[in-house]
Amino acid sequence: MKENESSLTALLSAFSRAYHSQYDTPKIFDDYIAKDLISEKEFSDISQNMIQGIQFFNKDIALKFQDDPEEMLKWITQVQLSPTPLARAAYCEKVLRNEVVLGAKQYVILGAGLDTFCFRHPELENSLDIFEIDYPATQQLKKKRLDHAQLTIPTNLHLVPMDFTKTFSYQPLLDEGFDNKKTFFSLLGVSYYLTKEENKSLLNHLFAHVPSGSSIVFDYADETLFETKGMSNRVEHMVKLASAAGEPMKSCFTYHEIEKALDSAGLLIYEHVTPAEINDLFFKKRTDDLSAFETIHYIHAVKK
């Protein structure tokens, strides 16, 4: 990912969370602060771009809703844009809350973008240090947006500029007060943009300086990523759009490969959640178009 594109990635993710919070019922993940980090013009511009691209996503839907752009936007958002960001955030934060009860003192968000966890959980200010790692440009953008939204950065939030996908270093974290305490990591929406070797290297580096019991939640694409079309061809569209944006998806894993990579980093799989299980957990009995992506799995792994 190029630095000048990183803010767009963060913006789209925030848009999907903001849209869901405002327009979908029931909520899978209610990021009610996301809308405050996007201007009305940006929300409108992204909406229009999505609507104008309806022909690419589904010509039948384009015809069906040709006189109803709001329904077009709802369909694109629910089918293509929102399912994975919403469900993985809901899963990750559910695990995190449990890890805090079990003694986690630090939360490291890799590729944080416009994450709002610390603002939605002010009660943790004195008990959990949060380290957001992302490109310097993305973090500068976030600071401006927080200021505009009149959100004050709490004392437990530390913004750590780093391109961790190239070289992860603990020094910037240590400079911000990171300590050898039980730590929880999240790595969401990142693994498929790294090669298998880059993923393995990152896992090894992450867990080299944290104690036993520290853990990570991440999502990954399974071995069918480049073959599965998915509902309304959405998996195929996801792969094509990533490539067209200059951010091609590079890796997918069998369960055995993931297990082996984690074992080499000293980690055990505590929980593995398949697409079918994700659907049962977060999308069951919905009457709209939201459903789990066909090729994306979640892992919660713990250091031995």
pLDDT category at 9 given cuts 50, 70, 90 is: confident
Q: Among 171, 257, 270, which Cα is nearest to 213's? A: 270
Is 90 exceeded by the pLDDT of residue 6? no
Cβ(103)–Cβ(181) below 8 Å: no
Tens of pLDDT, residue by residue over 85-143, are 999 999 999 999 999 999 999 999 999 999 999 999 999 999 999 999 999 999 999 99
| Alpha-carbon gap, residue 99 to 263, rounded angstroms | 21
Q: Among 243, 251, 230, which Cα is nearest to 1's? A: 243
Q: Can you give the pLDDT at residue 3?
A: 47
Same domain, yes or no, for 23 and 137? no
Same domain, yes or no, for 276 and 194? yes
Same domain, yes or no, for 62 and 27? yes
Tens of pLDDT, residue by residue over 21-54, are 999 999 999 999 999 999 999 999 999 999 999 9
Cβ(233)–Cβ(205) below 8 Å: no
DSSP notation for the chain: --HHHHHHHHHHHHHHHHHHHHH-SS-SS--TTGGGGS-HHHHHHHHHHHHHTHHHH-HHHHHHTTT-HHHHHHHHIIIIISHHHHHHHHHHHHHHHHHHHTT--EEEEET-TT--HHHH-GGGTTT-EEEEEE-HHHHHHHHHHHHHTT-PPPTTEEEEE--TTT---SHHHHHTT--SS-EEEEE-S-GGGS-HHHHHHHHHHHGGGS-TT-EEEEEEEBTTTTT---GGGHHHHHHHHHHHTT------B-HHHHHHHHHHTTEEEEEEE-HHHHHHHHTTT-SSS----TTEEEEEEEE-
The first and second tokens of residue 38, run together, are 């996007």
pLDDT category at 8 given cuts 50, 70, 90 is: confident
pLDDT category at 167 given cuts 50, 70, 90 is: confident
pLDDT category at 294 given cuts 50, 70, 90 is: very high
Same domain, yes or no, for 70 and 103? no
Same domain, yes or no, for 21 and 133? no
Same domain, yes or no, for 215 and 109? yes
Same domain, yes or no, for 30 and 164? no
Same domain, yes or no, for 188 and 66? no
Q: Can you give the pLDDT at residue 5?
A: 53
Please identify, among 81, 99, 114, the residue that sits at the C-terminal boundary of a domain.
Answer: 81
Cβ(58)–Cβ(75) below 8 Å: yes
Domain range enclosing 39: 3-81
Tens of pLDDT, residue by residue over 209-249, are 999 999 999 999 999 999 999 999 999 999 999 998 888 99
Q: Can you give the pLDDT at residue 245?
A: 83
| Alpha-carbon gap, residue 108 to 144, rounded angstroms | 21
| Alpha-carbon gap, residue 79 to 71, rounded angstroms | 12
Same domain, yes or no, for 176 and 293? yes
Same domain, yes or no, for 76 and 113? no
> For the chain, what is the mean pLDDT?
95
pLDDT category at 1 given cuts 50, 70, 90 is: very low
CATH number for the domain that contains residue 225: 3.40.50.150
Instruction: Give how many domains the chain has, as a whole number.
Output: 2
Cis peptide before 172, with omega less than 30 degrees from 0? no
* Rounded mean pLDDT, 269-293: 98
Please identify, among 81, 112, 146, the residue that sits at the C-terminal boundary of a domain.
Answer: 81
Same domain, yes or no, for 194 and 220? yes
Residue % of the chain over a pLDDT of 90: 94
Contacts for 145 with CB less than 8 Å, ≥ 6 apart: 37, 38, 114
Tokens 């559910």 map to which residue? Answer: 94
Same domain, yes or no, for 168 and 20? no
Q: Can you give the pLDDT at residue 176?
A: 97
Cβ(272)–Cβ(298) below 8 Å: yes
Residue 16 burial (C-beta neighbours within 10 Å; 0-12, 13-18, 19+): buried
Please identify, among 42, 58, 81, the residue that sits at the C-terminal boundary of a domain.
Answer: 81
